[in-house]
Amino acid sequence: MRYKYKVRELGPEIPSINEETGGTEVHVNVGEAKEMEAMSLKKLRRKLDHKKEYHIEYRNKKNNFVSATISGIEPKWK
Do residues 56 and 70 make contact, with C-beta atoms less than 8 angstroms apart?
yes
User: How long a stretch of residues is the chain?
Assistant: 78
Do residues 14 and 27 make contact, with C-beta atoms less than 8 angstroms apart?
yes
Question: What is the number of structural domains in the chain?
Answer: 1
For 45-70, how does the pLDDT look when each residue is reduced to its tens digit (9 = 90+)?
Answer: 999 999 999 999 999 999 999 999 99
What global pTM score does this model have? 0.80
pLDDT bin (cut points 50, 70, 90) of residue 29 is confident
- Does residue 20 carry a pLDDT above 90? no
Q: Which domain holds residue 32?
A: 3-71
Q: 77 lies in a domain?
A: no
Q: 13 lies in a domain?
A: yes
Q: 76 lies in a domain?
A: no
* pLDDT value of residue 24: 87
Answer left, alpha or beta for residue 39, where phi above 0 means left and psi between -120 and 50 means alpha: alpha
